[in-house]
A and B are shown apart, each in its own frame.
Chain A
Amino acid sequence: MKALSDEALMQQIQQGNQTAFQQLVDRYLVTLHAFAQRFLGNANDAEDVVQEVFLKVWQRAETWQIDKAKLSTWLYQITHNNCIDWQRKSKLKTVELAAAEEIGMLDNDDLQQAETKQQVEQALQKLPERQKSALVLCYYQGMSYRDAADILQIKVAALESLLARGRRSLKKQLAANMAED
């Protein structure tokens, strides 16, 4: 099957075409997984969430309407909602770091880098839900501000405010963590 546009792909999926669905998975699996991982702070949980998301997309493909939202916006909205539900259910706040044996093999510089990475991820997890969503979508996923605002169902001005507050909180949190060390 040649590369179809998102809209054409989705129309095929609505008719039950599994090859089209496979193409959709190829197109969005990595980005949705990255988003879920940053949001949840855990790669394994992200895999479970993304699996649920794609199943939902397959089962409920008919509810997507071309005139209501871009496919990518719709997919991110489902992933975002599933992440929130997942986090509320599990109350997991743990942050994944490299496996212990890997840390054991790191030299001083790498160890410091791993610690910084951990601190950043912990600080990100401590942000309020909306600020974290805004930062992950805009900074890490590289979304346009318009699209990110659509996903969060807010105005661009509100998104900007979330971003500014998020960055301020992160800065404060990281400065405090580094002062402790």
Chain B
Amino acid sequence: MDIKHFAQLVETYGGHPDNWKEEKRHAALDLLKTSSEAQRLQQNALKLDNLLDQSICIPPSPTLKTRILEQVTTMPKVKIDIWQEFMQWIFGTNSLEHIWRPAVAFGLPLLLGIWLGLHLAANDIAPSESELLQQEEIALLVLSDTMME
């Protein structure tokens, strides 16, 4: 491992070797033994880690579990029927899916419709050879009829 890769490693995972990717840890520790630059980079990363460690979580209040369990006993399980499952499939279950899923669900048939329309229109515009012959014969018959009159 060179110093550039080591810098990337500590920049991503911090200064604690335990947090480094397993496949890179060994090589990084080897470099640390010999390179003062690597040691400096690790110390810098550890400074940020130490600051991050100052943020300590407050545990949940003891009543939270009771609240959840009480609410659950009064709340029936939702039986998802086929219609709901379909709607969930289209609209998703979170804010991100609420946007892209309907867009895909409604956009795809639209695109398919446009493609089909263009495809069929192209076929209509270019009649087959037999159709052309048929049309030509009809035109000649009409022409001969009008000339005879």
Contacts and interface: CB of A to CB of B under 8 A. Distances in A.
A71 interface: no
Interface residues of A, number: 48
| Interface SS, B side | helix
Contacts of B64: 29, 33, 47, 50-51
A7 interface: no
A88 to B, nearest CB: 7
A94 interface: no
B61 interface: yes
A155 interface: no
Contact of B71 (A29, A55, A62, A88): A55
A133 interface: no
B78 interface: yes
Chain B CB within 10 A, most for which of A37, A51, A167: A167
A25 interface: yes
B143 to A, nearest CB: 69
B19 interface: yes
A76 to B, nearest CB: 13
A33 B19 CA distance: 22
Nearest to A120: B55
Contacts, number: 111
Given A51-B64, A54-B68, A120-B52, A18 B73 contact: yes
Contacts of B19: 138-139
B36 interface: no
Interface stretch (B10-18, B27-35, B104-112, B121-129): B10-18
| Interface SS, A side | helix
Contacts of A124: 55
Contact of B95 (A38, A47, A59, A88): A88
A60 B78 contact: yes
A113 interface: yes
Contact of A54 (B59, B61, B72, B96): B72
Nearest to B10: A167
Interface string B45-58: 10010011011111
A9 interface: no
Nearest to A16: B77
B142 to A, nearest CB: 67
B119 interface: no
B57 A34 contact: yes
B65 A25 contact: yes
B88 interface: yes
Contacts of B73: 18
B54 A116 contact: yes
B127 to A, nearest CB: 50
Contact of B75 (A59, A160, A171): A59
A88 B59 CA distance: 24
Q: Which 7 A-B pairs give the minimum distances between C-beta atoms?
A: A81-B94, A43-B58, A33-B60, A59-B78, A164-B12, A34-B57, A120-B55
